[in-house]
Amino acid sequence: MLQIHQNVSLKNFNTFGIDASARYFVEIAHEDELTELFLDPQWKTTERLVLGGGSNLLLTQDFDGLVIRMNIRSIEHRINHNEVFVEAGAGEVWNDFVNYCVGWQFAGVENMSLIPGSVGASPIQNIGAYGVELKDVFDTCRAFEIATGEFKTFTKADCRFGYRESVFKQKKGEYIIVSVKFTLSLTPNINTRYGAIEQELANRGISNPTIKDISQVVSHIRVSKLPDPSTIGNAGSFFKNPVITADAFNPIQNKYPDIVNFPGGDGLVKLAAGWMIEQCGWKGKVVGHTGTWKNQALVLVNHGGATGQEVYALSSQIIDSVYSKFGVMLEREVNIL
């Protein structure tokens, strides 16, 4: 029998450590519990929030509805010649899943080591890092459709992946992901082109890296740049890296020749939001109980006791200053409640 709890603090269920509460709270450990939950028509009409690791969320107020925490845990794999199909439950910690794959020498997710969050949230955001996105290794996912009470399988085409985008964002609240299947490989396609991977490999004297080397190097780089949520509240990168046209980029580059940029595909240019924020003087700045991280301006932090409104207000100030200096509008990557 499912236990529906009332007036539950969400402080330990969001990595920002914001002390907000949920009117109702339920934890799902098996997919059939979703069927049981929504047999009660009350929960179809009540406002809902689905939580995984709570790592991409800013709570700006109490939630007067039902919080559904997905805690379905399982990882299974099947090898077919050179391909490996790995299926993981939505409640698995993303980095535990990556470590499982690296441990078995299944290649494809090593560049996404140490991304915070859960497996179930990964397709929603189309998470990515260091030249690899979830869509590159995605096979299918299984999701519960709330309106019908049925389970549906989504293919890569169904998911309509974009940069930190998916159909699950566009149809917010209609589906709850219960598991994700990935297509990985026994033959690594080592990708060292992004960030400081090549430099760190050189520092370690590694010329022919394995996927384990890549995972360890990426983890080292992330730890050196990003704060540990167990030590200081944060949600990782707070803003998306903006993608603009070459025509819009040229005058900005003429004015700021050092601006960090990457090819965005289809004639577009991706800008480094962290660099622009730093140029506006925000890196390491403390504002009340919040601020930006000392090693990465893209990360907003809770120094202790910050409210969600404080963090949101700081993000608005940053957006305004970057637009004023560069004429580029930053977009929040973190989901705002």
Catalytic hit among 113, 215, 237, 315? 237
User: What CA–CA distance (Å, rounded) separates 2 from 271?
Assistant: 47
Nearest to 66 by CA among 3, 139, 140: 3
Residue 265, strand partner residues: 268
- Sequential DSSP letters for 13-70: GSTT----EEEEEEEESSTHHHHHHTTSTHHHHS-EEEESS--SEE--S-EEEEEEEE
Q: Would you call 164 a catalytic residue per the annotation?
A: yes
User: What CA–CA distance (Å, rounded) separates 117 from 136?
Assistant: 18
Q: Would you call 55 a catalytic residue per the annotation?
A: no
Q: Would you call 145 a catalytic residue per the annotation?
A: no
Interior CA angle at 179 toward 174 and 180, to 5°? Answer: 105
Phi, psi of 246 (to 5 degrees): -60, -35
Strand bridging mode 57-58 / 21-28 = unpaired
User: What CA–CA distance (Å, rounded) separates 281 from 28?
Assistant: 44
Catalytic hit among 33, 164, 222, 315? 164
Active site residues: 164, 237, 333
